[in-house]
Amino acid sequence: MSLPSPDGAPDNTQTVKVGILGATGTVGQRFISLLADHPWFIIHALGASSRSAGKLYPQAVNWKQTSPIPAVVRTLVVQKCVPENFTDCAVIFSGLDADVAGDIGEVILFLYSPNI
């Protein structure tokens, strides 16, 4: 199956940049595992807490998955979870806990939802 182009026709070359919030947590790691080899999505940005921000992903994470850290994220620098770090992403997956997701979730929802 190929990702449909904007006109609805299949286009095997089209990919979608995605961001992952909470990328160093267990849920974020699972998103990475599932998306790393996906034919439609390119992991473009990783977000986590300020203590992880600025580090290469392998140095920021305590990897808990059974498979190794995917190559596609080994050279990505973790960003703070603020909307301006995810503006190039067409889709943002969130693995954030509900107590911290509220602030960034509301801002991103506002920025990406034209009907609000």
Looking at the structure of the chain, the number of domains it has is 1
Q: For residue 35, what is the domain's CATH number? A: 3.40.50.720
29: containing domain: 16-112
Confirm whether 11 is domain-assigned: no
Residue among 41, 26, 33, 24 nearest 71 (CA) = 33
Q: Which residues contact 102 (CB under 8 A, 6 or more apart)?
A: none
Alpha carbon distance 94, 105 (integer Å)? 8
What pTM was computed for the model?
0.79
Confirm whether 89 is domain-assigned: yes
Confirm whether 24 is domain-assigned: yes
| Token couple for 102 | 């509220």
Give 52-105 pLDDT, tens digit per residue. Answer: 999 999 999 999 999 999 999 999 999 998 888 998 999 999 998 876 666 555
